[in-house]
């Protein structure tokens, strides 16, 4: 049952192989044409740029002489000089900006956010973290020591008092009566 070669969509069919080769050759030709157009456009742009540059160099002295005598036809910009110097309306108060920056820096340092280049977060803190501090040798540890805990756990007298306390609480719930007295007798129906 070898019917695959008879299908029109089969990959190894002679017609399909020829069609693929033809399409690949056409794609190569289109790519070459596209590259040729790009190179031609780049070459034209370079030559046009160089021509404009050469014209500008040659006509510069003539334009300066003509510019002095005749006003330009474009709009008049009264504040051009101020903007070119950087003293335009957009200027701000430098002292205020500096104070604001210092205040923000101080606040970020207090929160631990701000660290400078080359400074680790541990160096930025005022004191090292608790796990880097050496243990205090002379001071006793807070709370009861380990010996006291072991002695309390193994003390038979404390153990007996604990059980007696439980017994008293348990017997105190029933009010000192026995179990039989605590339960009312059930009456049988007659």
Chunked into runs of 10 residues, the chain (190 residues) has average pLDDT values of: 80 90 97 97 95 87 56 75 66 86 88 72 72 81 76 87 86 59 62
59 lies in a domain? yes
What's the confidence (pLDDT) of residue 184? 58
Predicted TM-score (pTM) of the model is: 0.29
- 76-86 pLDDT, tens digit per residue, is 888 877 777 76
* Cα pseudo-dihedral 156, 159, 161, 166, rounded to 10: -160
- 118-131 pLDDT, tens digit per residue, is 676 666 667 777 88
Q: How many helices (H) and strands (E) does the chain have?
A: 7, 0
Same domain, 57 and 19: yes
The total number of structural domains that make up the chain: 2
190 lies in a domain? no
113 lies in a domain? yes
Domain that holds residue 99: 95-124
- Report yes or no: 159 and 165 within 8 Å, Cβ to Cβ: no
30 lies in a domain? yes
149 lies in a domain? no
């Amino acid at each position: 049952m070898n019917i695959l070669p008879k299908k029109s969509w089969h990959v190894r069919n002679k017609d399909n192989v020829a069609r693929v080769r033809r399409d690949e050759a056409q794609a190569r030709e289109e790519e070459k044409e596209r590259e040729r157009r790009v190179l031609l456009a780049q070459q034209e742009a370079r030559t046009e740029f160089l021509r404009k540059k050469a014209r500008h160099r040659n006509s510069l002295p003539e334009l300066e002489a003509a510019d002095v005598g005749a006003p330009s036809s474009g709009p008049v910009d009264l504040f051009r000089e101020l903007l070119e110097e950087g003293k335009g309306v957009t200027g701000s108060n430098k002292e205020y900006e500096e104070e604001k920056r210092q205040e923000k820096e101080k606040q970020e340092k207090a929160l631990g956010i701000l660290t400078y280049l080359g400074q680790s977060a541990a160096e930025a803190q005022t004191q090292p973290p608790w796990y880097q501090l050496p243990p205090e040798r002379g001071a006793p540890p807070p709370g009861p020591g380990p010996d006291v805990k072991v002695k309390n756990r193994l003390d038979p007298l404390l153990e007996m008092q604990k059980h007696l306390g439980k017994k008293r609480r348990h017997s105190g719930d029933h009010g000192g009566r026995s179990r039989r007295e605590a339960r009312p007798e059930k009456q049988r129906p007659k």
